[in-house]
Amino acid sequence: MSEVKKIATRESYGNALAELGAQHDNIVVLDADLAGATKTSVFMKAFPERHIDCGIAEGNMMGVAAGLATTGKVPFASTFAMFASGRAFEQIRNSIGYPHLNVKIGATHAGISVGEDGATHQCNEDIALMRTIPGMTIINPSDDVEAKAAVKAAYEHEGPVYLRFGRLAVPVINTNPDYKFEIGKGVALREGSDLTIIATGLCVNSALEAAEMLAKDGVSAKVINIHTIKPLDEELVVEAAKATGKVVTVEEHSVIGGLGGAVCETLAAKAPTPVLRIGVQDTFGESGPAAALLTKYKLDGAGVYEQIKAWL
């Protein structure tokens, strides 16, 4: 049996930007001295005249992006998730969100899978922060296919978009030839009747693995991939909750304010349902190999399975 192809979504981001750049000359890519890590270096090599290194000054970069957007350019401001959502929050809120400018934020190295860089760089709060900004669209792709589609969709979408990418190479799971990416629409990857697992980002693969393990125990789990956390596909979430009666959310993000929070807010208002939130449990990460951290924090397939079994 051939090995499953793996690629980091930050690689997908760089490749997608270069492809789009060849098609649209109004795209400008900004970086905060991290082009090699965010992979915007791919775009920089192809279109050096449309790449701006703003240096280690993330807040200023967001201001530059806002200015470019007012001239009709479509800027992709790129840096680590920690620096984009954290260090530059005020500039994103006031200079991009408030005037609702057409700026795309490429936030790489999100979550604990950043690994050895440790807690200071493992951003588990970015989705929660960005969700509070009115009009901000938030996309957290699960693999290479989805990440490339997300970048294209972000370009075509009018308004600010926060794109979340990872450092760790992850399996390509969206191999269905009929796969279609649409902002605000989740994707059902597996049918089931006993419970619904709603996952995002690299945890979509973990959810699928956990569902396979549950099936061996006679538990039928529906798996939904939520790539757009804001706006959330409320119709799909509510429909699945009503059909199975139990919901589990899985994310490489704090259980406070992320996917779990968004799902719970929706269900509390429209279809009260028991929910188990699996994610980073109100704690900071730590330095270590990415795979080992995912295992320790129970965000790999076995860890998700173990938590669901205990809950059931």
Q: Which of 115, 142, 171 is the last residue of a domain?
A: 171
**Which range of residues forms the domain containing residue 37?**
6-171
Q: Integer distance in angstroms from the first to the last C-alpha of the chain?
A: 33
CB-count exposure of residue 237 (10 Å: 0-12, 13-18, 19+): buried
The answer to the question of residue 277 being in a domain is yes
Q: pTM of the prediction?
A: 0.96
The answer to the question of residue 180 being in a domain is no
- Residue 275: beta bridge partners? 247
Residue 304: which of 246, 252, 264, 267 has the closest Cα? Answer: 252
**pLDDT, position 11:** 97
Rounded CA-CA distance 221/239 in Å is 14
Tens of pLDDT along the chain (312 residues)?
346 789 999 999 999 999 999 999 999 999 999 999 999 999 999 999 999 999 999 999 999 999 999 999 999 999 999 999 999 999 999 999 999 999 999 999 999 999 999 999 999 999 999 999 999 999 999 999 999 999 999 999 999 999 999 999 999 999 888 889 999 999 999 999 999 999 999 999 999 999 999 999 999 999 999 999 999 999 999 999 999 999 999 999 999 999 999 999 999 999 999 999 999 999 999 999 999 999 999 999 999 999 999 999
Report phi then psi at 122, rounded to 5: -85, 95
What's the structural domain count of the chain? 2
The answer to the question of residue 242 being in a domain is yes
Q: Return the amino acid letter for 55.
A: G
**What is 48-85 written as a DSSP string?**
GGGEEE--S-HHHHHHHHHHHHHTT-EEEEEEEHIIII
Q: Which of 121, 138, 171 is the last residue of a domain?
A: 171
Task: Verify that 165 and 286 share a domain, yes or no.
Answer: no
Rounded CA-CA distance 65/147 in Å is 21
CATH code where residue 14 lies? 3.40.50.970
Cite the active site residues.
Answer: 58
Q: Is 281 helix (H, G, I), strand (E, B) or coil?
A: coil
The answer to the question of residue 181 being in a domain is no
**pLDDT, position 3:** 65
- Could you list the beta-strand ranges (E) of the chain: 6-8, 27-31, 51-53, 74-80, 104-108, 137-139, 161-164, 169-171, 187-190, 195-199, 221-225, 228-230, 247-254, 275-280
Q: Which residue has the tokens 């701006």?
A: 52
Rounded CA-CA distance 46/78 in Å is 17
